[in-house]
Structure 1
Amino acid sequence: MTTDSILILGGVGFIGRHFVHYVVQNNLAQYVCVVDKVLPQTAYLSEAHKASFEKVEFRQGNLIHPASVANCFTKADGTEFDYVFNFAAETKYSQVSEVYQERIVQLSANCAKEAAKRKVKVFTCMSTAEIYDNDQGASTETSKVKPWTTIAKYKHRAEEELGKIEGLNLVVLRPSLVYGTGALLGLTPRLIIGRVYKHLNEEMKLLWSKDLKLNTVHVDDVVRATWHAAKWYVDTGKKPEDDTPFFNLADKQDTDQETINKHLRDIFGIETGYHGTVVSSFAKLNLDSVTEDVNEKHLAPWAELLKKADIHTSPLSPYLDEELLYNNALSVDGSKIERETGFSYSVPKLTKERLVEIIDDYKARNFWPAED
């Protein structure tokens, strides 16, 4: 059944653009409006995503301003949107706290208040599974909260703020590490670094241990789950006064560092290993200098590879932020959404083929250097 109209906030970002494409390709809504501060023309969209954006209304807007939010929620014919999906948030690491407060917490609250005011049927918000305590087993939706990235800290604050808004029909999704074509973060820097080590003809050694959990979920399943959860909320007649549904998103594989390294070995023909307890303990105490050394090791060879391939512009970088090198496990139980809503994951595990898809997509757009 086609939903009348939907508003997608932050629709130009990685997950947002995949969601726009999913909605358009499956004809899920009669009217789709996408809002983002970034223009699609400057966002390195794939050809398939460009085609989908041509079939929706796009509005450029800065959602940290309540007046701008109100304008985004106003349709030309004066009627209201049925569903609102919020993917808008600051995603860059190492920003000052004021940036995250404004671009995650304040932005989310502004949009959610407007949705409540207009009695939107469902407001679906994208959070993160990095909010859970990393010292425990697979986190469920009721597990202890102890955010271990700054972004996660403010995502959780946003969740709390949204929970206080009266009359808001809210669904919150907490994905594990999201990967797929067009991703700049997540697993993509590891792929880039794997390519660098192939070029250097050296062993790629990682901090910590092979069994450090880095649970994953494919972007296709994230966007399918986003739509599915919203429809489930509306179709089951949930009300604002009901408990907010929180759903983790994670595939079946229980991915760890060795799962990923095995694929890197197969893809690039490189050796991989781990630095061991002594070096990792040193790194833990000197992470800022270690991060600097790591990035210095990778950035110059990557630039050399791009230059050699005559690639002048690429959004890709092997740069790793210090927060991404912490010894933090991302272990997530993503089964609740299946049990309670009937959702089913279409990509149950991370495969070599799915990682090669990311590389091939960037090669096709001349962002990734050909083989040596």
Structure 2
Amino acid sequence: MAQDSKPRVLVLGGTGFVGRNFVHYLLENDLVSKIRVVDKVPPQMAWLNQQHRESFTSPLIEFKHGNLINPATTEDAFIDSDGHDFDYVVNLAAETKYGQSDPVYEEGIIKLSNTCMKAASNHPNIKMYVEFSSGQMHSTDKKPVKEDTKCEPWTHLAKHKLQVEKELSNYPDLKHIIIRPAIIYGLADRQGLTPRLMIGAIYKYTNEKMKMLWTKDLKMNTVHVVDVCRATWHLFTHGKSGEIYNLCDKGDTDQGEISELVSEIFSINYDFVGSIMSNMAKLNMSSMVEDINDSHLAPWADACQKDDISNTPLNPCIDQELLYNKHTYLDGSKIEETGFRYLYTKLKIESLREMLQDYLDLGLFPKCLLSGETHFIRPDDGEEYES
């Protein structure tokens, strides 16, 4: 296919986790004639690894710095430097951090997404607009949640994402698709499975048993970021406008499986406190979560200091909402009816090792956590732990 006959793609939030992987996927597979990336974080400040940095130097990429909450900035983003519209648009720009206040989500999710949708509706040549939502729309361990299950979002982030889904109906002429992913993992993941890797390394560092709330059966279904990228591209042309598609692999991942893989990587022991103790902890959940995160932060800071890491985007804290007995249990088969097939059908230890090694190579993850030759003295009790 001639280069100029290939589609032009607009990636909103393109230097984020999924965005950078999607840009790399499009270029690696020679799928597009042009990509415009719009983000408030420029590539030089986005902690890109080598392969992603190289992708962002491609002559096919046009980076535009901007805050998509601003209507003028957003409208300008939808017309490229040659005055052409884009064929496909994906919105990955909204707030993705958990535990934020309602005003932060109202601006960073609802206002931003509405601004993008409104701008897109002014460009009838757009063939498909993809809005990324959340897979936390319903919690159950009975059977996998399908796209038509009644929504009862269990995080504040998901509640605001659901409102965006509903407001898409205000733009009936905009061809659009909604994606609800399970827990996304892969290179550059910071909030999916990476915190579990960090905590595993910390328990190796302190020579303690890793303990988790609830039981091994807590559903934590997953999807690899490469399959997320493949699915997004596939849905541009094979998805049905107005439809919602879950993205979830075949592994039926749960907390027990993730903990087993993490313990194997770091050679640590682990256990679950069980439902009774966890329910008792819920009575003072805020204080307990603060104590847990503080216990992780101290050795993490100590290890970063030892390895002269003064700045890293990684944080071993897990938000309180993600520590409740809430399941991420999705049926990701609907997209397969359109001809899509998952490449990463199950979470494997090789993927977690690859994620860890990527951060080690970037100098963002302290190597001394893994060396087995360090010791940490907890500041609260003075007791020394050797590993």
TM-score if structure 2 supplies the norm length?
Answer: 0.91
- Bigger shift: residues 1-10 or 21-30: 1-10
Counterpart in 2 of 1:89? 94
Q: Distance in 2 between matches of 1:232 and 1:112?
A: 21
In structure 2, the partner of 1:308 is: 306
Specify which of 51, 54, 66 is matched with residue 54 of structure 2.
Answer: 51
Tell me which residue corresponds to 1:276.
274
In structure 2, the residue corresponding to 1:7 is in which secondary structure? strand
* 1:36 and 2:34 matched: no
Partner of 2:339: 342
User: Are 1:155 and 2:152 matched, yes or no?
Assistant: no
Contact kept? 1:133, 1:144, Cα under 8 Å: no
| Alignment match, 1:143 | 149
Aligned: 1:184 with 2:193? no
CA distance in 1, matches of 2:6, 2:12: 17
Q: Specify the code of the residue in structure 2 equivalent to 1:366.
A: G
- The C-alpha deviation readout for 1:55-85, integer Å capped at 9, x for no partner, is 1100011111111111101222222111111
Give the secondary structure class of the aligned counterpart of 2:279: helix
Q: 1:283-294 to 2 correspondence within 5 Å? A: 283-294=281-292
CA drift of 1:40 comes to 1.0
Structure 2 matches for 1:193-212, cutoff 5 A?
193-212=199-218
CA contact (8 A) 1:113 1:168 kept: no
In 2, are the aligned partners of 1:6 and 1:33 still within 8 Å (CA)? Answer: yes
Separation (CA, whole Å) in 2 of partners of 1:315 and 1:116: 35
* Structure 1 residues 186-237: Cα deviation after superposition (integer angstroms, max 9, x where no partner): 111110000000011111010001101000001010011001011214xxxx
Alignment size in residue pairs: 363
CA contact (8 A) 2:141 2:329 kept: no
Residue number among 15, 18, 22 corresponding to 1:19 in the alignment: 22
Counterpart in 1 of 2:173? 167
Query: Match for residue 247 of structure 1?
Result: 245
**In 1: Cα distance, 2:363 partner to 2:104 partner:** 33
Task: Report the CA distance between 1:107 and its aligned residue.
Answer: 1.3
CA distance in 2, matches of 1:312, 1:65: 33
Query: Following TM superposition, by how much is the alpha carbon of 1:135 offset from its aligned partner in structure 2, in angstroms?
Result: 5.8
Structure 2 letter corresponding to 1:354: S
Find the partner of 1:69 among 48, 51, 74: 74
Correspondent of 1:365 among 357, 362, 365: 362
Equivalent residue number for residue 385 of structure 2? none
- Deviation track 1:82-123 (CA, whole Å, cap 9, x = no partner) reads 111111111122222122111111211211122122111110
Q: Deviations over 1:269-291 (max 9, x none)?
A: 10010112332011222110110
Name structure 2 gaps, 5 residues minimum: 373-387
Report the CA distance between 1:163 and its aligned residue: 2.0
What is the SS of the residue equivalent to 2:136?
helix
Amino acid at match of 1:97: D
In the alignment, the residues of structure 2 paired with residue 292 and residue 144 of structure 1 have an alpha-carbon distance, to the nearest angstrom, of 33
Once the 2 structures are TM-superposed, how far is the Cα of residue 50 of structure 1 from its aligned partner? 0.8
Alignment identity in percent?
47
Offset at residue 136 of structure 1 (A): 4.6
Asked whether the equivalents of residues 212 and 257 of structure 1 are also in contact (C-alpha less than 8 Å), the reply is yes
Contact 1:306 1:312 in 2 (8 A): yes
Task: Provide the C-alpha distance between the structure 2 equivalents of 1:296 and 1:287, rounded to a whole number of angstroms.
Answer: 14
* 1:156-212 Cα shifts (integer Å, max 9, x gaps): 100100122121100111000001111111111110000000011111010001101
Conservation of the 8 A alpha-carbon contact between 1:122 and 1:170: yes
Q: Distance in 2 between matches of 1:86 and 1:256?
A: 29
Partner of 2:324: 326
Calculate the TM-score normalised by the size of structure 1: 0.95
CA contact (8 A) 1:74 1:80 kept: yes
Q: Which residue of 2 aligns with 1:98?
A: 103
Please show how residues 229-240 of structure 1 align to structure 2 within 5 Å.
229-233=235-239
* 1:247-298 CA distance string (max 9 Å, x none): 1000001000110011012101100101123320112221101101101111
Distance 1:205 1:106 in 2: 39
Distance 1:269 1:78 in 2: 56
- Which residue of structure 2 aligns with residue 108 of structure 1? 113
1:121 and 1:169 in contact (8 A); partners too: yes
Equivalent residue letter for 1:173:
I
CA distance in 1, matches of 2:56, 2:39: 12
Name the CA distance, whole Å, in 2 between partners of 1:161 and 1:277.
38
Contact 1:176 / 1:249 at 8 angstroms: preserved in 2? yes
In structure 1, what residue type is equivalent to 2:166?
E
Query: Matched residues in 1 for 2:8 and 2:210: separation?
Result: 48
Which residue is 2:9 aligned to?
Answer: 6
Query: Match of 2:113, SS?
Result: helix
Distance (whole Å) between structure 2 residues aligned to residue 66 and residue 304 of structure 1: 44
Aligned amino acid, residue 23 of structure 1: L
Cα drift, residue 309 of structure 1 = 2.1
Distance, in Å, in 2 between the alignment partners of 1:125 and 1:182 is 21
